């Protein structure tokens, strides 16, 4: 099984008590998202932010650059679901190893993903035996919604953020994900950003910071 590595940042204050795993989009790598950490650290000052590189080279890039969590060469539902199922144990093992090194429980983890990383965060996070504190999925989709009813193991709070003008993953994908999550009993919030394409804007970043702050505060209060 491949092991993951990539840039880390934080915590801003004291010893790390939480972990925010940042999962990048296809064709990028961990360096693409780690710059979110300093801003979000104001809301989650005791969190370590880790943005690992996906384990496989991007197989459709042409130039050998970038990484992928799973292949998009065949985008049929069955192959997408198979790719997500294959990456899940890699993500789970990475979380277990990082939390053990930090000395924190795996319940203290929030998963964030952008685009393919959002698909990965949703698929893996909802099926983890140890529920994450939160899932934040930006410009993504719930690609394996068809099996969710029989495979869901965790119902953490979920935030979906999507640009209304996304030309890569249509905003309808997050609207469908929102409906599927509600049907599965998952607490979900959704934010659709006008005039935003396939990217993250300041409004989405601000909403994500507040979501992380609230999720970790609820977790800490429950354990007090």
Phi, psi (rounded to 5 degrees) for 95: -65, -45
The set of residues, in sequence order, having a beta carbon less than 8 Å from that of 134 and lying 6+ positions away, is 110, 111, 156, 157, 158, 159, 211, 212, 215, 216
Distance (Å, whole) CA 86 – CA 15: 33
The set of residues, in sequence order, having a beta carbon less than 8 Å from that of 51 and lying 6+ positions away, is 6, 7, 8, 21, 22, 23, 24, 30, 31, 32, 33, 34, 37
198 is catalytic: yes
Catalytic entry in 18, 24, 108, 115 = 115
201 is catalytic: no
Give the containing element (helix H, strand E) for 8: strand 8-9
Distance (Å, whole) CA 161 – CA 18: 22
Query: Cα–Cα distances in Å, from 198 out to 10, 115, 145, 169, 170?
Result: 27, 8, 22, 7, 9
Catalytic entry in 29, 32, 144, 166 = 166
The alpha carbon of 183 is separated from its chain's Cα centroid by a whole number of angstroms, namely 20
Query: Cα–Cα distances in Å, from 51 out to 21, 48, 85, 119?
Result: 6, 10, 20, 16
53 is catalytic: no
Catalytic entry in 53, 59, 92, 198 = 198
- Residues noted as catalytic: 115, 166, 198
């Amino acid at each position: 099984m491949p092991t993951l590595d990539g840039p880390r940042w934080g915590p801003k204050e004291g010893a790390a008590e939480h972990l925010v795993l940042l999962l990048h989009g296809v064709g990028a790598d961990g360096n693409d998202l780690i710059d979110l950490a300093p801003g979000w650290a104001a809301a989650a000052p005791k969190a370590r932010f880790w943005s690992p590189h996906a384990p496989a080279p991007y197989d459709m890039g042409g130039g050998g650059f970038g990484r992928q969590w799973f292949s998009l060469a065949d985008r049929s539902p069955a192959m997408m679901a198979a790719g997500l199922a294959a990456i899940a144990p890699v993500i789970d093992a990475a979380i277990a190893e990082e939390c053990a090194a930090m000395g924190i429980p795996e319940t203290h983890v929030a998963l964030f993903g952008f685009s393919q990383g959002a698909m990965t965060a949703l698929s893996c996070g909802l099926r983890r035996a140890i529920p994450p504190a939160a899932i934040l999925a930006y410009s993504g989709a719930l690609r394996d919604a068809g099996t969710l009813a029989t495979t869901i193991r965790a119902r953490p709070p979920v935030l979906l953020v999507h640009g209304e003008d996304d030309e890569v993953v249509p905003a309808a994908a997050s609207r469908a994900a929102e409906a599927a999550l509600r049907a599965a009993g998952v607490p979900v919030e959704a934010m659709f950003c006008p005039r935003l394409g396939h990217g993250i804007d300041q409004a989405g970043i601000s909403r994500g910071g507040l979501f992380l702050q609230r999720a970790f505060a609820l977790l800490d209060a429950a354990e007090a």
